[in-house]
Amino acid sequence: MFLTDEERRILDGAFGEPQRIALGVLLKLGEAYGADRMLEIMSAHVVGSSYQIAGEAGLEIYSQLVAQGARVKVRTTSDPGSIDFARWREFRTPAGYAERQIKIAGLLDQMGVIPTWTCTPYTTFNVPRFGEDLGWSESSAVVFANSVIGARTNRLAAYVDVCAALVGRVPRFGLHVSECRRGEVLFELDPGLSASFEDHYFPALGYRVGQVTGDRIPVVAGVKHATVDQLKAFGAAAAASGSVALYHMVGITPEARTVEEALGGQPPAERVGIGPREIAQTVEQMSTGQGGAVDVVGVGCPHASIDQMRRYAALLQGKRVHTGVQLWICTNTAVEEMARRMGCIQTIEQAGAKLMVGTCHNDCPLGAWGFRRLATDSGKFAYYTPTTVGTECVFASTEACIQAAITGQVERK
């Protein structure tokens, strides 16, 4: 790989041990993937902020880095942690576990990481521009940055993201290279489905697209309109059920003004038709459990926006969450604060729902609750929570999930 004089000096230790180690890791990664050189990045986003992901090894590595004077070189934000820093006792998090997450938070603070604790940094704290190179991890954030914004990042692993933050560089390969951003699998929506596309079809479509695409790049044609929250839900599901890091939605995402542009002028490797039957089959597959009594409901994955908070508040206005059911809404501190000023939090809390801020069902240890059945409107939760929370899962629309929390019963479609 070509290295600049400055990069050679970093590797010689001229800028300290943390930078030397970090660039060494990135160099090995670049060599493994055939990168030709390093790229300077505008920002990093790190998943190793979570104790569940970083573990004891992370604590040790971050402690050493801090002792050696490590500071991030570019704007760097933290993904959700493994606790709600303000309410961890309410979520029955063991004290020893919480202490370890708090320790990681302190170490990241010392390295200069912005303590955002969110998987949606792109809405407020770490907003990339089209074409910028980034060093991000967090599958849902990576797919959003690449697809909806048109920024460029590979899906970095935990610790590699911290290395990128420490030197402000990543090796140039994969989604940093224009030719590697060309769509490969073309999904064509049936016109009948396009005309009546409902909100909860976005995570279901994303889930289906991820299953079929794997790690290739999908192009979706036929979606007439999509909000930022719908694109967020679609991408998170595709990144979970497959390992999609970039999608093109024709007429909606910036590198897909036409099907031809999305495919880079080449024919697709595969064409896949999607109609009401495929969506119904996928919704069916996303539920691992039967309908019936529900004990936990999870919304706000990826972290809820202010529009979503208003929607939850409207659905909960004057209602009461059923006894024995936990309705937890995941979001970040910025949205929490704004929603509080707007009166949404009061409505939500009066109804008996709880905010889960800076974390989520997937990141927190929830064994103490003994949950059996989770209802969610998130494709990513539907994919992971049967393993991480150990529950059955029923996927349903946002309205049906809130209704399930109120009645204590969820219907499987």
Residue choice 58, 80, 206, 222 for contact with ligand F3S (CB under 6 A)? 80
Give residue for tokens 């390969």: 173
Residue choice 30, 203, 302, 358 for contact with ligand F3S (CB under 6 A)? 302
Q: Which stretch binds ligand F3S (CB under 6 A): 122-130, 209-217, 279-287, 360-368?
A: 360-368
Length of the chain: 413
How far apart (Å, rounded) are the C-alpha atoms in residues 223 and 84?
36
Is residue 286 within the footprint of ligand F3S (CB under 6 A)?
Answer: no
Residues binding ligand F3S: what is the number (CB under 6 A)? Answer: 12
Q: Which stretch binds ligand F3S (CB under 6 A): 36-44, 99-107, 298-306, 314-322?
A: 298-306
Is residue 246 within the footprint of ligand F3S (CB under 6 A)?
Answer: no
Site map 370..409 versus ligand F3S, x via CB under 6 A:
----------x-----------------------------
Residue choice 184, 278, 363, 377 for contact with ligand F3S (CB under 6 A)? 363
What is the nearest approach in angstroms of ligand F3S to the Cβ of residue 307? Answer: 16
What percent of the chain is helix, strand and coil (3-state, nearest 5)? 45, 15, 40
Backbone angles phi, psi at 398, to 5 degrees: -55, -45
Cβ distance to ligand F3S smaller for residue 347 or 376: 376
The radius of gyration computed from the CA coordinates of the chain, to the nearest angstrom, equals 21
How far apart (Å, rounded) are the C-alpha atoms in residues 183 and 203?
20
Structure-block tokens of residue 169: 């560089």
Residue choice 142, 163, 209, 301 for contact with ligand F3S (CB under 6 A)? 301
Cβ distance to ligand F3S smaller for residue 30 or 210: 210
How far apart (Å, rounded) are the C-alpha atoms in residues 278 and 282?
6
**Looking at 248-358, which runs of residues are DSSP E strands?**
248-249, 270-274, 292-293, 296-299, 326-331, 354-357
Is residue 362 within the footprint of ligand F3S (CB under 6 A)?
Answer: yes
Q: Which stretch binds ligand F3S (CB under 6 A): 104-112, 161-169, 299-307, 400-408?
A: 299-307
3-class state of residue 167 by DSSP = helix
Conformational region of residue 370, where left means phi above 0, alpha means psi within -120 to 50, and beta covers everything else: left
The answer to whether the CB of 151 falls within 8 A of the CB of 185 is no
Is residue 298 within the footprint of ligand F3S (CB under 6 A)?
Answer: no
Contact residues toward ligand F3S (CB under 6 A) are: 80, 119, 140, 236, 301-303, 330, 360, 362-363, 380
